[in-house]
């Protein structure tokens, strides 16, 4: 098939590259000349494991091109995907659909007969109806179709998520769009991936409902972590015990400083606005949004408490800046509010992240960014783990303790075993653990019981994508 992808952001770049891997001819188009020039030179605008190699492979095979020429990209396309941004409008809290509608207006006169336009951007219910009306104003009825095909890609594991998804959702109102998308996803059907064909509006709502549920699951385990700290129990053992229930599952049961990223914060707010517009109350989602915002603010106070309540003039090392490991995305990252809170108390900040510093530098002020984690913690009065990158969780606790001015470790991701950190001489504050922490033999006894289900303890307590999508 000939495919055009409008927008070379996260969704467009990943989806276009993966579609090309199936042998389709994919043209990704963007108005940003600098971004397209960079892509044609092999420079990706985002960090995503495995994506650079995939792009280069498909470019070399002639299956993937990048252009600013909308006419060339669209005029021969069988399917045109709209993958532009839908950011939250600050005052209203709903999704800004101006880029989606502009894309629809731009491509309308260029579509060939029988082309299918697909919204892959995350959009509120009814957006496809508006897109169809926009295109219909420039084309005769029956010469095109509009469908919805929401993406479910987690940053940091997007390539695996595309090729091994839980499901593919297709929202189609016509036989033309249904046939085209089923043909495109034939490799998924051959691999026995569940393909769900629904009405267009249902597909649009599935995406928002899924993200809202996962956000709620994160905040549920975060609030239980607070309870664990008060009653003397262990949140990681609790999460394993709860997650073994097949009706619940273990994913997104990793307690931390709150969710962030480009999806959960934006999509929960947009879902709430949609519900309000239709006179429906989504109380659980409302509480999830409020609880997440409050938790991020509390994390700074948790660090201040570990410092004895006095921070003026002290230095705190922040390890990890991005909203989760595996991405350079700083949008709604818990580190932002944590750092800003600490700075208000007169604390000096040094920070390390393996890939997030370029983006963080444009969002944070008066922060000393370090390329080496040990240089970051040197002479610090406290170290805070905010993102559980492997390069952070594998640091030597003994070396860190030797370099630091004071032995205070605030582990907001439980990246280190509490007992290991204590043995290295740290005063440890973590998430969901009472002080003192449970003895190590007790922890091993629980883990041993779940070995037939979980391959290792590290996989139980370090689940991918648990801080956002």
Residues acting as catalytic residues: 263
Cβ neighbours around 433 below 10 Å, total = 24
Residue 83 Rama label (left phi>0; alpha psi -120 to 50; beta): alpha
Nearest CA among 239, 242, 244, 241 for reference residue 256? 239
Cα angle for residues 82, 88, 90 (degrees, 5° grid): 150
| CB-CB neighbours of 375 under 10 Å | 14
Structure tokens given for 86 = 């839908």
Backbone angles phi and psi of 318, in degrees to 5: -105, 120
Alpha carbon separation from 203 to 78, 89, 169, 273 (Å, rounded): 21, 23, 6, 18
Question: In this structure, what token pair is assigned to residue 406?
Answer: 């004071």
CA atoms within 13 A on the CB side of 44: 20
DSSP 438: P
């Amino acid at each position: 098939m000939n495919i055009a992808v409008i927008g070379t952001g996260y969704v467009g770049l990943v989806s276009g590259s993966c579609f090309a891997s199936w042998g389709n001819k994919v043209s990704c188009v963007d108005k940003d000349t600098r971004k397209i020039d960079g892509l044609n030179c092999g420079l990706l605008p985002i960090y995503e494991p495995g994506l650079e190699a995939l792009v280069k492979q498909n470019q070399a095979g002639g299956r993937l091109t990048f252009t600013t020429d909308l006419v060339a990209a669209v005029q021969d396309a069988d399917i045109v995907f709209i993958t532009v941004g839908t950011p939250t409008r600050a005052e209203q809290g709903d999704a800004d659909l101006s880029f989606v509608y502009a894309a629809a207006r731009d491509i309308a006169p260029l579509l060939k007969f029988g082309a299918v336009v697909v919204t892959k951007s995350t959009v509120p219910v009814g957006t496809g109806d508006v897109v169809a009306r926009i295109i219909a104003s420039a084309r005769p009825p029956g010469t095109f179709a509009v469908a919805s095909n929401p993406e479910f890609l987690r940053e940091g594991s997007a390539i695996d998520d595309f090729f091994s998804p839980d499901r593919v959702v297709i929202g189609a109102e016509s036989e033309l769009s249904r046939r085209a998308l089923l043909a495109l996803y034939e490799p998924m059907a051959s691999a026995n991936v569940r393909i769900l064909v629904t009405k267009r509006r249902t597909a649009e709502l599935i995406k928002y409902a899924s993200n809202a549920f996962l956000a709620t699951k994160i905040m549920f385990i975060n609030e239980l972590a607070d309870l664990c700290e008060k009653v003397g129990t262990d949140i990681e053992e609790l999460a394993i015990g709860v997650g073994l229930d097949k009706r619940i599952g273990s994913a997104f049961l990793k307690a931390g400083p709150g969710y962030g990223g480009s999806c959960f914060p934006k999509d929960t707010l947009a879902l709430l606005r949609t519900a309000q517009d239709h006179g429906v109350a989504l109380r659980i989602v409302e509480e999830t949004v409020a609880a997440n915002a409050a938790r991020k603010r509390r994390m700074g106070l948790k660090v201040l408490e570990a410092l004895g309540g006095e921070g003026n003039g002290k230095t705190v090392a922040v390890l990890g800046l991005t909203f989760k490991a595996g991405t350079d995305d700083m949008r709604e990252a818990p580190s932002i509010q944590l750092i800003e809170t600490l700075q208000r108390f007169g604390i000096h900040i040094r920070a390390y992240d393996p890939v997030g510093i370029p983006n963080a530098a444009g969002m944070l002020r008066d922060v000393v960014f370090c390329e080496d984690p040990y240089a970051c913690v040197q002479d610090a009065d406290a170290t805070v783990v905010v993102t559980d990158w492997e390069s952070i969780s594998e640091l030597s606790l003994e070396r860190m303790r030797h370099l630091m001015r004071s032995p205070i470790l605030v582990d907001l991701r439980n990246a280190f075993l509490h007992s290991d950190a204590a043995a290295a001489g740290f005063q440890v504050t973590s998430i969901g653990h009472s002080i003192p922490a449970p003895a190590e033999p007790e922890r091993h006894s629980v883990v041993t019981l779940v070995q037939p289900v979980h391959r290792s303890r590290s996989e139980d307590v370090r689940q991918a994508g648990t801080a956002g999508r």
